[in-house]
Amino acid sequence: MVSIRSSCIVIPSNSTPNGVMSLSEIDQVPGMKHAPANLFFYKQNHNSSSYTDVTKRLIDSLSKMLVPYYPLAGRLRRIEGRFDLDCNAKGVQFVEAICDDQAKVVDDYIDFEPTEAVKDFIPSIDYNSIPLEEWPLLLVQLTRLSCGGLCVGIGVSHTVCDGWALFQFIKLWTNGHTPPRFDHREFKSPPALLGCSDIKTEQDKPIGVTVLRVSRDKIENLKKEAQAKSTYEAVAAHMWRCASKARQGDPNQPTIILSVADIRNRSKPRIPTNYFGNAILPALTPTCLFGEILSNPLSYTAQKVRESIEILADDYIVSAIDYLKIQQQCMDSLRIGSPTGHYYGNPNLNIGCAISLPAYDTDFGWGKPVYVGVGSFINVDGRSFMMPGPAGDGSIVITLRLQRQHMEAFKKFFYEDIGRFGKARL
């Protein structure tokens, strides 16, 4: 009914403690064998990775789990009637199999009974021919059905742990390789400049820096014109239009804005306000064309910015974390500012925003600061940062890096259009 394709021993991914671990009196009572075994059936997920990728991810994540759970990679030994655990990192058994019965689908095994019908899905070893000291303590079998569904069979020596402990292990293991539910374009390569075969050509162009100041009244005009819900949404949309005009690219040029969003109030449960660490995730707009941005009203562009923030609900956050967990081998390319990281310059923008932070509440005993600004930030085209203005009146200050060939045109459009929006309602 089931054909074994391969069998391997999975060892811890890093070095682990060696030595003999004494087992308790209670551990001596349960049986030595891998019973009861548990079977987990899954229907085909058309958004999931290929079967080969699934197998590799299971093995890789299991190897990592065996570092903190290193006793599972050991072997039992019997001394004067008692069992001890030799933590020797010999590993656990992983079997890959295929169900030969083409007529069988996952639905056939709903409410299955523990009979011969499911015996082949259960990982096993030959207890009669293999000495106790060589038994892997954990057995895993991944079986593919003809319908595309999967069965994961797991057995553990009952001498080592009980059902509760096993399922805690399984929960942590599955959290380590859960397939992400969303595509997560924010971690992938952004649009490149049309006709540019070498991104380094754009990266090497001279870059200038400027500081843009926007009063509260001008922000209100922008928000009304953009029909925006927030200052960031309105200002980012305006900057996107100005950059698209200043860069004078092909109307069919794809472009995006990458930003970051605070997820403290978006996660479930909410992350405490006193949490110390990074609680932000990239926020990426839908891909637009220069022509779309310039031919539509500002409200169109603001809606695209809004979508990049609104997608960051709890399910998306969990999926993003799952995505990052399976990208450990290429994490350098995801790090902001990394030499091998993605380039968000022309035709794109990378906007940071700190306008809601209490920057001007910083009093070391000399009163509040008269000005707070960004002293250094990533030196690449299209990078900008919004800060609250010094007067505490709702104004903002934007530090912007842009290719020098586009800077003056950008500043001209930036201030002229804001003024035009205000006059249009007089």
Instruction: Find the CATH number of the domain harbouring 246.
Output: 3.30.559.10
In a domain, 150, yes or no: yes
Among residues 150, 175, 200, which one ends one of the domains? 175
Whether 320 and 376 map to the same domain: the answer is yes
Per the domain annotation, does 180 fall within a domain?
Answer: no
Q: Is the pLDDT of residue 46 over 50?
A: no
| Mean pLDDT on 160-181 | 80
Q: What are the pLDDT digits (tens) for 145-154?
A: 988 889 999 9
Tell me which of 200 and 259 has the higher pLDDT. 259
Position 32 in a domain: yes
Q: Which of 28-37, 43-52, 81-90 has the lowest mean pLDDT?
A: 43-52
Whether residue 250 sits in one domain with residue 140: no
On average, the pLDDT of the chain sits at 89
Q: Which of 111, 143, 175 is the last residue of a domain?
A: 175
Q: Are residues 164 and 272 in the same domain?
A: no
Q: In this predicted structure, what is the pLDDT of residue 44?
A: 79
Asked if 406 is an active-site residue, the reply is: no
Is residue 318 located within the same domain as residue 353? yes
Q: What is the pLDDT of residues 174-219, one digit of tens each?
A: 875 566 778 889 988 899 999 988 888 889 999 999 999 999 999 9
Q: Note whether residue 75 is domain-resident.
A: yes
Domain that holds residue 73: 2-175
Q: Does residue 136 lie in a domain region? A: yes
Residue 185 within a domain: no
Q: Does the pLDDT at position 319 exceed 70?
A: yes
**One domain, residues 211 and 331:** yes
146 and 268 in a single domain? The answer is no
329 shares a domain with 204: yes
Are 146 and 280 part of one and the same domain?
no
Tell me the one-letter amino acid at 300. Y
pLDDT top residue among 270 and 102:
270
Number of domains within the chain: 2
My answer on whether 296 and 353 are in the same domain is: yes
| Domain edge (last residue) among 175, 207, 228 | 175
Return the minimum-mean-pLDDT range out of 92-101, 222-231, 330-339: 330-339
169 and 209: one domain?
A: no
Pair (128, 231) in one structural domain: no
Asked if residue 264 and residue 149 are part of one domain, the reply reads no
Q: Active-site residue among 34, 120, 158, 406?
A: 158
Q: Is residue 181 part of a domain?
A: no
- ∠22-25-31 over CA atoms, to 5°? 95
Q: With respect to residue 183, please indicate whether it lies within any of the assigned structural domains.
A: no
Catalytic annotation present for 363: yes
pLDDT in tens, 208-248: 999 999 999 999 999 999 999 999 999 999 999 999 999 99
